């Protein structure tokens, strides 16, 4: 799938940009609504499954498995997979509390060329939240090819439904960066770019968010011991939150 390319002014080194992005992510998680119950964590894991994402699909499977593994040690976490690909295809799974069952679904998905459908993902998350509380939407993608005003309207609706969107961008696409940041802001979530060099940090942060969704601040504080600096800062940021 073709990607838009734009000339950009010189930027700070990649490591500095990633560090600042992680700090911003942690700050936003601190202010995100906490789950209503330690036994009722629900998280939507949404993925771009267009052709450019084929090489990243295996990584995404490992990410969701890690999220389940860590969250299971502190409480229940139900995850729903949402993905789009091809010509207007956008699908969602049922809610899974078993990593292996969701992994089986993901292994049956192949990436197909097509345009992004993030607006549909946001609408779906809003509709799911109307049925039962959804703690967060996690989205991983690398492009944005939609009407920004329409998508931001959907993001605003999701924000009103109380579902923060954590937008993770793979690669340097400036159009995607702008859109993802606006979506995160409108939903009360956070934006974080990543690449091959920071993929491990992405996985660690996602596992930490899953632990928080399932078990709250104490579970996250316990989990942070012996983990990387990013998770430790995340745990410190949410320490002051009221909760269990």
Q: Is 100 exposed, middle or buried (0-12, 13-18, 19+ CB in 10 A)?
A: exposed
Distance CA 229, CA 201 (A): 9
Pair 235, 211: CB distance under 8 Å: no
The whole-model pTM stands at: 0.77
The full set of domains in the chain, from first to last, is: 25-232 (3.40.50.410)
177 with 193: CB under 8 angstroms? yes
- The partner residues of 45 in beta bridges, in order of sequence, read 81, 138
pLDDT tens-digit series, residues 35-90? 444 445 889 999 999 988 877 877 787 787 778 777 776 778 899 999 999 999 99
- pLDDT above 90: residue 146: yes
Q: What is the 3-state secondary structure (H, E, C) of 142-172?
A: CCCCCCHHHHHHHHHHHHHCCCCEEEEEECC
The pLDDT of residue 209 is 74
Q: What's the pLDDT band for 235 if we cut at 50, 70, 90? A: low
Residue 127 has pLDDT above 70, yes or no: yes
95 vs 121: CA distance, rounded Å: 15
What pLDDT was estimated at residue 130? 96
**What's residue 77's pLDDT?**
87
Q: What are phi and psi of 94, to 5 degrees?
A: -75, 175
pLDDT band at 7 (very low <50, low <70, confident <90, very high): very low
pLDDT band for position 95 (cuts 50, 70, 90): very high
């Amino acid at each position: 799938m073709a990607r838009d390319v734009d000339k950009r002014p010189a930027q700070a080194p990649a490591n500095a940009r990633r560090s600042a992005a992680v700090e911003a992510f942690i700050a936003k998680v601190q202010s995100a609504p906490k789950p209503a119950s330690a036994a009722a964590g629900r998280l939507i894991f949404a993925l771009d499954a267009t052709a450019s994402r084929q090489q990243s699909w295996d990584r995404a499977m490992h990410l969701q498995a890690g999220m389940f593994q860590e969250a299971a040690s502190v409480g229940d976490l139900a995850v729903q997979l949402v993905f789009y690909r091809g010509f207007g295809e956008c699908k969602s799974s049922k809610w899974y509390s078993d990593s292996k069952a969701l992994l089986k679904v993901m292994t049956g998905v192949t990436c197909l060329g097509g345009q992004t459908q993030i607006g549909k993902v946001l609408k779906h998350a809003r509709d799911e939240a109307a049925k039962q509380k959804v703690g967060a939407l996690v989205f991983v993608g690398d492009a944005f090819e939609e009407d920004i005003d329409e998508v931001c309207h959907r993001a605003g609706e999701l924000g009103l439904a109380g579902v923060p969107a954590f937008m993770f961008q793979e690669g340097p696409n400036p159009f995607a960066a702008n859109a993802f940041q606006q979506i995160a802001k409108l939903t009360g979530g956070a934006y974080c770019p990543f690449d091959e060099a920071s993929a491990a940090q992405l996985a660690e942060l996602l596992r930490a968010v899953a632990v928080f969704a399932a078990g709250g601040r104490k579970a996250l504080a316990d989990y942070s011991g012996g983990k990387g600096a990013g998770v430790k800062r995340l745990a410190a940021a949410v320490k002051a939150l009221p909760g269990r």
